[in-house]
Structure 1
């Protein structure tokens, strides 16, 4: 059974779990951004800024990055990951249901690179919580290590965060905010925007996060994701000569 937390206690846990300082393993993944930058699909300066670029000034690509983040939120996280996070949160005490949800994520994620990324980040997050002694983490890790279930990120998030006592809406916000910070962090490390630009993107995206939060998540049976440019970029990532990220 999960512990009962006050709203303030749940909020504090959500801040900790969504913090980029938390060692969940997501910092190693760009979710297609690296390939898009390498292919000049993102970060390509318009002709009007060519002179500034030649003088060595950083180009502001925050609008392009913001559009990428928004696409991932609307057409992948909200319509797919959130559905399985929510279902796993509700079924945190039901191991067979969690494993069924995990199998659904595996079957519905068509790109192998996305499946691998979701599994590896989910398993990394699970391992951290096993080390921290979070209830429910060790039994589920046992199933993952036995190859009985893949351990996809949204399922692990729903399970672990419910066991910690986080409120449902705080779990959704922590997951979405963690995705956003991971993407803008990748953009900063790829050199297409600065730290202040990244904070502007995170600020500008907040109304969308609140808008999505006001809508009910879809069920796993209705879950879908459609981010073709990002998925193709992820699949092409292994062909890049130089790679900073795992995808």
Structure 2
């Protein structure tokens, strides 16, 4: 497949219209917003302070205090998305997607990668989310007849493997003919748009602010993709406040999202 064809497939797979199941998950954002915004600000405060001081040479706290409230929350969402992209997706999910893309024709290797994701994802809620979104994506591709999807779904149905999202993405998108780079781009873009969409549905910001967040994230995403993925031995994720928020989500009385 040529580069243009791979690009077109990547657009289809990353489109929110594609029924991959990711829209049901906020990855901790709902809990942080329900806490009144203070927790969401805490997630981003250190990174914002560093960036502001470096870019403007002034006190980041005083600058933030002059910002309108809606802008505060938009900046907090922006930092949350960036944090998930830098410190979870790029250092963990991307690693396994990349490995699964290369192992797409070898089922035992894919099963091994899937078990590694399961073992290295400590929060049960994150494991459950990754499994459910991965299995949802797998089910769509099984229905579409994508090569390898039915065989892997059988392994999941029989309880032999959990079906985590990055492994499913790498396997299926290689089978469709997406390049490795386009597969990673589609996955990262899907994550960012999903989080921005969740923020809009939670009433944190409007659609225009969401587009500003995505525009801010794009050069960061391209910067991350310009560097080679880490090795499997170095795969790691560090988003502790978001993970705590995910674990606390089930105690909320009213919930819009699954986590």
Match of 2:229 in 1: 217
Q: What's the TM-score, normalizing by structure 1?
A: 0.92
SS at match of 2:191: helix
Match of 1:107 among 103, 114, 119: 119
CA distance in 2, matches of 1:244, 1:229: 20
- The answer as to whether partners of 1:103 and 1:150 remain within 8 angstroms in 2 is yes
Q: CA deviation at 1:42?
A: 2.6
Q: Which has the higher helix share?
A: 2
Aligned-residue offset at 1:47: 7.0
The secondary structure found in structure 2 opposite 1:169 is: helix
Distance 1:36 1:91 in 2: 37
CA distance in 2, matches of 1:39, 1:89: 39
Aligned length: 235
Is there any run of 5+ residues in structure 1 with no aligned partner, and where?
Answer: 54-58
Partner of 1:30: 26
Match of 2:58 in 1: none
Partner of 1:201: 213
Tell me which residue corresponds to 2:13.
17
* SS of match in other structure, 2:40: coil
Give TM-score, length-normalised by structure 2. 0.88
Structure 2 unmatched ranges of 5 or more: 43-63
- The answer to whether the 8 A contact 1:70-1:205 is kept is yes
Q: Distance in 2 between matches of 1:214 and 1:43?
A: 29
1:233 aligns with 2:245: yes
1:155 to 153, 156, 167: 167
| Residue of structure 1 in register with 2:92 after alignment | 80
- Residue of 33, 40, 43 corresponding to 1:42: 40
Q: For residues 73-152 of structure 1, what are the structure 2 equivalents within 5 Å?
A: 73-152=85-164
SS class of match (1:42): helix
Aligned Cα root-mean-square deviation (Å) = 1.4
8 Å contact kept, 1:37–1:43 = no
The answer as to 2:197 corresponding to 1:188 is no
Matches within 5 A, 1:36-75: 36-40=32-36, 41-42=39-40, 59-60=70-71, 61-75=73-87
**CA 1:204/1:48 → structure 2, altered by over 3 Å: closer, same or farther?**
closer
CA distance in 1, matches of 2:193, 2:231: 26
How far the C-alpha of 1:48 sits from its partner, in A, is: 6.0
Q: Distance in 1 between matches of 2:248 and 2:186?
A: 29
The superposition leaves residues 43-83 of structure 1 with CA deviations (integer Å, 9 ceiling, x where unpaired) of 79x8767xx87xxxxx2322111100010011000000000
Give the Cα–Cα distance (whole angstroms) in 1 for the partners of residues 236 and 99 of structure 2.
Answer: 15
CA change 1:97–1:16 in 2 (3 A) is same
